[in-house]
Amino acid sequence: QHTDNQQRQPACTRKLAVVLFTCYFFRSARRLFVVAVVVLVVVLAVVVVVFVFSVYSLSVRWSSWWQKPSPAAPAMLAFPAPQTTASLTMCSAKGTAAPGASWHGGRPPAAGQAYTAAISALGRRSRWAEAVFTLSEMPEVRLPPNCVSRNAAVDACARGRRWVEAFEILQGTLQLRLQLDIISCTAAMSAAGRSSTWRQALELLGSARCKALEPSGVSLAAAAAACDRGAAEEFAAGAGQGGGGCWLLALELLRRASREWRLDPGLAAHNAAMSSAGRGGDWGRTLNLLAMLLVGSLEPDVVSCNAAASSCEGAGRWARVVSLLASLRASTGQPSTVTYVVLLSACAKAGQWQRSLLAMRSLGEQGLRSNDAADNAMLSAVSRGMQWARALSLWGAGGRSGTVPDVVATSAAMAGLAADGFWEGALCLLAAVRNCGAE
């Protein structure tokens, strides 16, 4: 038995050693596992920190690269642009903050002025699409547009007769919570007027009044010009004469401006209202507006006299047209070719071919050059006066100068020849017209 115990003792010792070794091994392995996990976490943390730092460095470099003038900007700013544009001048006159004063985003004020000058220059060149695109690029280069740049874009749309785009820019101005001024409204009204959407122009003027924006003489002139274009469309459609319409709205604008708004309408608004009244066939009211200018503080110009003369010519009042031309000569105003065209047309309708000859001679003495409209009116006058020899001479002179009289003047000349019994001359004139390629 003692021998058996001695034999079993080494076996137990070995088993105990195995157990102890196993426990030590697993305990060490657990420690190693913990160490490995800690090392892995540290490595991952270092990798994350390095990655974040790299991304931040790249973003800083990318931002600094965008802050430099982009390659497209010099191309747009390459053409000469004045340092003070029309929009900048108007905002300065209204007491608006100088360009760059309200810019934020870390960019220098000169960058905002450069973009505004580019938009204004593009507008003056009738490149409205590029002007709007330049405005849309400003937020991308961390230059939020202010009222100056947006006014320049609206003015560009007005020059391009894009009233929808102009109104969208105004809507964006309100959404950005920028202060809407009368300059923006005036430019949008001009865009609507040039696009023959006079209703939108008047609605915009009314909304400006609702927003406590005082209309200026320029805004009133833009609204009156829109009414004048609307009256021209009505007259062309045969609905303007005697039926009210846009020309009455132009007169109402003048009345409200002087009586209710206590605003001097200005000469441009008066001229537009006179032209509208003439298109409406109310030549008497046109002369009344001209008389108001004469007794007021405004001095009529050649546009005023032309509007009054055109109104009288449309009503067949050729003597009034002659009187207006004489009064224009007596004043400091210089008649234009349009003035003489109106006079020649009035004399032609009244059969006053002698007056037409005197008017044509006076046109040359004033140093003015005749145009196709004046030649056609003169030809029509002598044809209606049965002066077929003069009519043929004038028609031949027009052919030698390279300008063929229009169908109305040629028909009048042929009618004069036929009425005078000179039907051979009428046939010769018809053959000459065919040889010239006219129809």
Q: Where are the alpha helices (DSSP H) in 68-146?
A: 72-76, 86-93, 109-124, 128-137
Supply 276's token pair.
């509208």
What phi, psi does 50 have (nearest 5°)?
-65, -40
d(CA 377, CA 278): 20
What pLDDT is attached to residue 26? 59
* pLDDT on residue 53: 78
Specify the pLDDT at position 87.
Answer: 35
Q: Which CATH class is domain 110-210?
A: mainly alpha
Nearest to 343 by CA among 366, 398, 332: 366
**Dihedral of alpha carbons 150, 151, 156, 160, sign:** positive
pLDDT at 8: 52
Using CA atoms, how far apart are residues 131 and 278, in angstroms rounded to an integer? 37
Cα distance between residue 35 and residue 158, in whole Å: 74
pLDDT-flagged residues of the chain (< 70): 1-32, 58-110, 195-196, 198, 209-212, 238-244, 332-333, 383-410, 412-413, 415-422, 424-425, 429, 432-439
Q: Which two tokens stand for residue 309?
A: 């003369």
Query: Which pLDDT score is estimated for 76?
Result: 30
Say what the pLDDT of residue 392 is.
Answer: 61
Total-model pTM:
0.59
How long, in residues, is the chain?
439
* In the chain, domain spans: 110-210, 214-300, 387-439
92-141, pLDDT tens digit by residue? Answer: 333 333 333 334 344 445 677 888 889 889 988 888 899 889 888 888 88
